[in-house]
Chains A and B, each alone.
Chain A
Amino acid sequence: MNKCFQIAATLVAFLFIAVMPAGAAGEADAATQTAQPASQGIACFEDLRGRVLAVPSSTVQDIYVEEHYPDIKLDRFDTEADMMLSLQQEKCDGAIMDDVICYALVRKTEGVTILPDSPVPPCQMGVVFGKHNAELCKQFNEFINHLKSTGELNQIMERWIKHFDTAEMPQLELPTSGTPIRVAMEPCTEPIVFIKNEKIAGFDAELIMRFSVYINRPVEIVEMEYDSLIASTTTGKADMAASGILITDERAESVLFSEPYYDSHSRVAVLTKNAHPSIVTSKEDEQNLGIWGSITRSFHRNIIEERRYMLLWDGLKVTVYISFCSALLGTVLGAFICYLRMCRFRVCRTIARVYIDIMRGTPVLVFLMIMCYVAFTKFDNTPVAIITFAMNFAAYVSEMFRTSISSIDKGQTEAGIALGFSPVRTFCYIVLPQAVQRVLPVYKGELISLIKNTSIVGYVAVADLTRASYIIRGRTFDPFFPLLMVAAMYFLIAWLFALVLDRIGRKVC
């Protein structure tokens, strides 16, 4: 009876927390407000002086505004979707971004208006090639010039930028034979590159597909974080990179840029209620759906539409696969490290100790990036990530194994040996079962921590569960369901792994 009540209370509390952001409750958000309220309303960029502006970090906009408007406080973000969220939550007064993205976002977001002006000079978008890929770059330039001359480029741009919500990828006969061109892309930015109906779409994506047909070579898309795109062309992970990358002198020093295919202007989005009435164009009000209505709509939009649950399902498989493999490999490696650590030779002990110290002293994210971008640039990221997690896991569990083995009374070993067992058999029959019994509870904790740690593989572009939520959020700008679903799924995975471990533990002991 008491237990039932507890569960009910937990559920109610959970729902309450869940409903608050979904219902977009203004009162709750007002408490976290840091930006100043607009007295007359923002009419142009100048009015943002002394206020908070969200910028995509280390972009042209970031550098330009910081240099020319020192009195504007900048909040730097990795994705435009996060900037928009911040704006809606009134943590900033404006969000500056490339116009294509801005138009797309504003159309999806309620209560946001675009300022008529922007001081940041226009930039050109280009496709990036590694310096060693000059030949491919030349071919691409020919292709772009061809598109420009036929006017197709303008059509493509028009379609994606003006009508992006209805635009579809053209049905192209893609070549299947020949050496594939590996193209690095970050599919989280509408309408440049994004995932629609589980497929890659957007004008950069279309350009690439058309290029593929043009030179008659198949394309292999390598998904990764925006920050890694340019580097990937120099390390050889990809032959070219395209995701609305702006051409800057700094970047041009290390890589080749294609001919520009689009002039990108910056645009600033502000909240309509803060904007000066003169710039607000009236928009049809969405009907008020009420709390349940908005929850259902949010669920439908985030999970059901475009079969987005498939993204989550695929991510789930990847997360389970990585967790399982690295736990298995890490345990074996951990046992080996533990053996070295307890070895009678000093050299072995020192090697093991240094290994453990290094592994425990390095953030696993940094180590993962080192492994993917420095050590094993030529390999697929998923196995590299598995090895990385396994190595990290091994360092922790080897110490657990060691303490649990040495916690077994020496008399147990002596009794085994005195009975006539060899030292190895004594270890297997007598010490190991007892050590396993003792290590299981802490091991379980470490395993769960490993599962949760795998959520950082998104940084090296492995499409795991967290990454799936990221992609969905990039489309819907609604953090609630993707994050909550993913959290619940991690919880489930951890719980299942722990359950299996308990089973094994009961069998062994």
Chain B
Amino acid sequence: MIQIKHLQKSFGKLDVLLDVNLNIKCGEVISIIGPSGTGKSTFLRCLNLLEQPTGGSIVIDGEEVLNGHVNTSKLRQKMGMVFQSFNLFNHLSVLDNVCIGPVKLLGKTRAEAEAKGMELLKMVGMAEKAHAMPAELSGGQKQRAAIARCLSMDPEIILFDEPTSALDPTMVSEVLSVIRALARQGMTMAIVTHEMSFARDVSTRVVYMDEGVIYEEGTPQQIFDHPRRELTRIFVNRIRDFHYCFHSADYDRYELKAAWQNYCSKYFLSRQAVSETRRVSLSLFRLIPLDKGPVDMYFRYSEKTGELSLEILLPVGMESMLHKVENATHMQHVRALCRCIEESIEETDAGDRVRCRFVFRNLNR
């Protein structure tokens, strides 16, 4: 239905989309996830030409839309859009919001449009509020009315631009269940969202966008449970990293300590977690000669699972840490605190390195 190839978009010097490739087939529900500022919304707005892409091609039903010959108004009529800020027409009642498109654009009579409009409002649960003004509605009601307005044009695809981000948590579910119902009816949709569990169970495909490209895509299970790539993993598990690089044995202890304390307070690590992880890392670093080349330390905390882990990257050729930890008697408390200790060789541009991973038992509960 829609083929997007090498789509680019830049605002002045700022390149937002570098090279986006995506095919959307009829009946698909595609969730687009990713960190803020990676161009998810921009991508969506490029699809219905609210933003003019700076390069690439978009082919809709076999017709290239970026060559300037296409009737953009007709195109947009087939592509509904639901905005983060609802954007209901404030001077019109809910019913008029739903009728204005069919009457003025599709040439329907007022009576036809109202009958259809009431049906749609019934579907989104807003029939009772048909004659209310937008200012009298709650956020969730506004968004449901906006969805009805979008449906009034009989679109072939609906683009949702963070439909629940501006909503109170109590109102999120009423909007999501409307979208779910649409998905069940087989509506083609592209949804930019931060609601991960919603994305997981509503979509047929999940697209992770980062760094101006589609970084990884796949079924919800693939993306959420077994992300193949690093950034995806960090994003879906909401992993917060603490990184420090030891260049020599005379590293700045105070700088490290301050950075560490800052990290702990930022992500609300429990006191126990702070003190235990500190004990473990102190013990471990006693085993590592820091003057044999740079050593990287990653402390990772997943907000999703609560999992804490410590990863140490060492130059190859050092004595196996795993072996020491597993055998030395003074490492007993490390063994007791970690539920998983693994060691692997990792290839990097600067040569091979050894990665030691210590996963802590649940300390942050």
Residues of A within 8 A of B (CB): 409, 411-412, 414-422, 425, 429-430, 433-434, 437, 509
Please determine whether B91 and A419 come into contact, CB atoms closer than 8 angstroms.
no
Please determine whether B85 and A434 come into contact, CB atoms closer than 8 angstroms.
no
Please determine whether A418 and B48 come into contact, CB atoms closer than 8 angstroms.
yes
Please determine whether A420 and B87 come into contact, CB atoms closer than 8 angstroms.
no
Please determine whether B91 and A434 come into contact, CB atoms closer than 8 angstroms.
yes
Residues of A within 8 A of B8 (CB): none
Q: Give chain B interface residues in 127-164, CB to chain A under 8 Å.
A: 146, 149-150, 153
Please determine whether B83 and A417 come into contact, CB atoms closer than 8 angstroms.
no
Please determine whether B50 and A417 come into contact, CB atoms closer than 8 angstroms.
yes
Question: Mind listing 16 A-B residue pairs with CB under 8 Å?
Answer: A409-B87, A412-B87, A412-B90, A414-B83, A415-B81, A415-B89, A418-B48, A419-B150, A420-B73, A420-B76, A420-B153, A421-B104, A425-B104, A429-B100, A430-B89, A434-B89
- Kindly state whether residue B101 has any CB partner on chain A within 8 Å: yes
Please determine whether A434 and B90 come into contact, CB atoms closer than 8 angstroms.
yes
If A417-B50, A420-B105, A434-B89 are given as contacts, then 10 extra A-B residue pairs at C-beta distance below 8 Å, sorted by A number, are A412-B90, A414-B50, A414-B87, A415-B87, A415-B89, A418-B48, A418-B50, A418-B80, A421-B104, A430-B89
- Kindly state whether residue B77 has any CB partner on chain A within 8 Å: yes
**Leading 4 A-B pairs by shortest Cβ distance:** A420-B77, A415-B87, A411-B87, A418-B81
Q: Using an 8 Å CB-CB cutoff, how does the interface string of B54-93 with A read, 1 for contact, 0 for none?
A: 0000000000000000000110110111010111111100
Q: A433 vs B89: C-alpha distance in the bound complex, in angstroms?
A: 10
Q: A437 vs B77: C-alpha distance in the bound complex, in angstroms?
A: 28
The smallest C-beta distance from B325 to any residue of chain A, in angstroms, reads 57
Residues of B within 8 A of A430 (CB): 89, 91
Q: A473 vs B199: C-alpha distance in the bound complex, in angstroms?
A: 83
> Among B86, B88, B90, which residue has the most Cβ atoms of chain A within 10 A?
B90
Please determine whether A433 and B105 come into contact, CB atoms closer than 8 angstroms.
no
Residues of A within 8 A of B149 (CB): 419
The one of A414, A420, A437 that contacts B91, using a Cβ cutoff of 8 Å: A437
Residues of B within 8 A of A411 (CB): 83, 85-87
The smallest C-beta distance from B60 to any residue of chain A, in angstroms, reads 14
Q: A430 vs B83: C-alpha distance in the bound complex, in angstroms?
A: 16
Q: Using an 8 Å CB-CB cutoff, how does the interface string of B19-53 with A read, 1 for contact, 0 for none?
A: 00000000000000000000000000000101000
The one of A414, A420, A509 that contacts B101, using a Cβ cutoff of 8 Å: A420
> Among A411, A415, A437, which residue has the most Cβ atoms of chain B within 10 A?
A415
Please determine whether B83 and A415 come into contact, CB atoms closer than 8 angstroms.
yes
> Among A412, A419, A437, which residue has the most Cβ atoms of chain B within 10 A?
A419
Residues of A within 8 A of B91 (CB): 430, 433-434, 437, 509
Please determine whether B73 and A422 come into contact, CB atoms closer than 8 angstroms.
yes
Residues of A within 8 A of B86 (CB): 411
Q: A409 vs B79: C-alpha distance in the bound complex, in angstroms?
A: 22
Residues of A within 8 A of B77 (CB): 419-420
Residues of A within 8 A of B89 (CB): 412, 415-416, 430, 434
Q: A430 vs B85: C-alpha distance in the bound complex, in angstroms?
A: 16
Please determine whether A429 and B104 come into contact, CB atoms closer than 8 angstroms.
yes
Residues of A within 8 A of B87 (CB): 409, 411-412, 414-415
Residues of B within 8 A of A417 (CB): 50, 76
Contact A419 to B105, CB < 8 A, known contacts A411-B83, A414-B50, A414-B83: yes
Please determine whether B74 and A420 come into contact, CB atoms closer than 8 angstroms.
yes
Please determine whether A419 and B76 come into contact, CB atoms closer than 8 angstroms.
yes
Q: A63 vs B206: C-alpha distance in the bound complex, in angstroms?
A: 95
Please determine whether A418 and B90 come into contact, CB atoms closer than 8 angstroms.
no
Residues of B within 8 A of A415 (CB): 81, 83, 87-89, 146
Chain B minimum-CB-distance residue to A410: B87
Q: A417 vs B105: C-alpha distance in the bound complex, in angstroms?
A: 12
Chain A minimum-CB-distance residue to B49: A417
Chain B minimum-CB-distance residue to A415: B87
Residues of A within 8 A of B100 (CB): 419, 429
Chain B minimum-CB-distance residue to A436: B91
Q: A434 vs B89: C-alpha distance in the bound complex, in angstroms?
A: 9
Please determine whether B153 and A419 come into contact, CB atoms closer than 8 angstroms.
yes
Q: A417 vs B50: C-alpha distance in the bound complex, in angstroms?
A: 8
Q: A165 vs B100: C-alpha distance in the bound complex, in angstroms?
A: 73
Q: A419 vs B86: C-alpha distance in the bound complex, in angstroms?
A: 13
Residues of B within 8 A of A409 (CB): 85, 87
Q: A411 vs B161: C-alpha distance in the bound complex, in angstroms?
A: 12
Contact A421 to B83, CB < 8 A, known contacts A416-B89, A430-B89, A434-B90: no
Chain A minimum-CB-distance residue to B106: A420
Q: A433 vs B91: C-alpha distance in the bound complex, in angstroms?
A: 7
Q: A430 vs B89: C-alpha distance in the bound complex, in angstroms?
A: 7
The smallest C-beta distance from A406 to any residue of chain B, in angstroms, reads 15
The smallest C-beta distance from B68 to any residue of chain A, in angstroms, reads 15
The smallest C-beta distance from B39 to any residue of chain A, in angstroms, reads 17
Residues of B within 8 A of A418 (CB): 48, 50, 76, 79-81, 83
Q: A417 vs B149: C-alpha distance in the bound complex, in angstroms?
A: 13
Chain A minimum-CB-distance residue to B150: A419
Residues of A within 8 A of B150 (CB): 419
> Among B48, B87, B149, which residue has the most Cβ atoms of chain A within 10 A?
B87
Residues of A within 8 A of B73 (CB): 420-422
Q: A412 vs B100: C-alpha distance in the bound complex, in angstroms?
A: 13
Q: A358 vs B87: C-alpha distance in the bound complex, in angstroms?
A: 38
Residues of A within 8 A of B80 (CB): 418-419
The smallest C-beta distance from A433 to any residue of chain B, in angstroms, reads 5
The smallest C-beta distance from A62 to any residue of chain B, in angstroms, reads 62
Residues of B within 8 A of A419 (CB): 76-77, 80, 100-101, 105, 149-150, 153
Q: A409 vs B90: C-alpha distance in the bound complex, in angstroms?
A: 10
The smallest C-beta distance from B353 to any residue of chain A, in angstroms, reads 49
Q: A412 vs B142: C-alpha distance in the bound complex, in angstroms?
A: 13
Chain B minimum-CB-distance residue to A423: B73
Q: A417 vs B104: C-alpha distance in the bound complex, in angstroms?
A: 13
Q: A419 vs B99: C-alpha distance in the bound complex, in angstroms?
A: 11
Residues of B within 8 A of A421 (CB): 73, 104-105
Q: A425 vs B73: C-alpha distance in the bound complex, in angstroms?
A: 11
The smallest C-beta distance from A507 to any residue of chain B, in angstroms, reads 13
The smallest C-beta distance from A45 to any residue of chain B, in angstroms, reads 74
Residues of A within 8 A of B50 (CB): 414, 417-418
Q: A418 vs B147: C-alpha distance in the bound complex, in angstroms?
A: 13
Q: A335 vs B239: C-alpha distance in the bound complex, in angstroms?
A: 55
Residues of B within 8 A of A509 (CB): 91
Residues of B within 8 A of A429 (CB): 100, 104
The smallest C-beta distance from A388 to any residue of chain B, in angstroms, reads 35
Q: A433 vs B92: C-alpha distance in the bound complex, in angstroms?
A: 10
Q: A415 vs B97: C-alpha distance in the bound complex, in angstroms?
A: 11
The smallest C-beta distance from A251 to any residue of chain B, in angstroms, reads 63
Residues of A within 8 A of B153 (CB): 419-420
Chain A minimum-CB-distance residue to B78: A420
The smallest C-beta distance from B278 to any residue of chain A, in angstroms, reads 49
Q: A421 vs B73: C-alpha distance in the bound complex, in angstroms?
A: 6
Q: A418 vs B166: C-alpha distance in the bound complex, in angstroms?
A: 19
Residues of B within 8 A of A416 (CB): 89
Q: Using an 8 Å CB-CB cutoff, how does the interface string of B297-339 with A read, 1 for contact, 0 for none?
A: 0000000000000000000000000000000000000000000
> Among B73, B91, B105, B153, which residue has the most Cβ atoms of chain A within 10 A?
B91
Q: A16 vs B286: C-alpha distance in the bound complex, in angstroms?
A: 101
Q: A361 vs B300: C-alpha distance in the bound complex, in angstroms?
A: 65
Residues of A within 8 A of B105 (CB): 419-421
The smallest C-beta distance from B87 to any residue of chain A, in angstroms, reads 4
Residues of A within 8 A of B79 (CB): 418
The smallest C-beta distance from B192 to any residue of chain A, in angstroms, reads 14
The smallest C-beta distance from B9 to any residue of chain A, in angstroms, reads 16
The smallest C-beta distance from A354 to any residue of chain B, in angstroms, reads 29
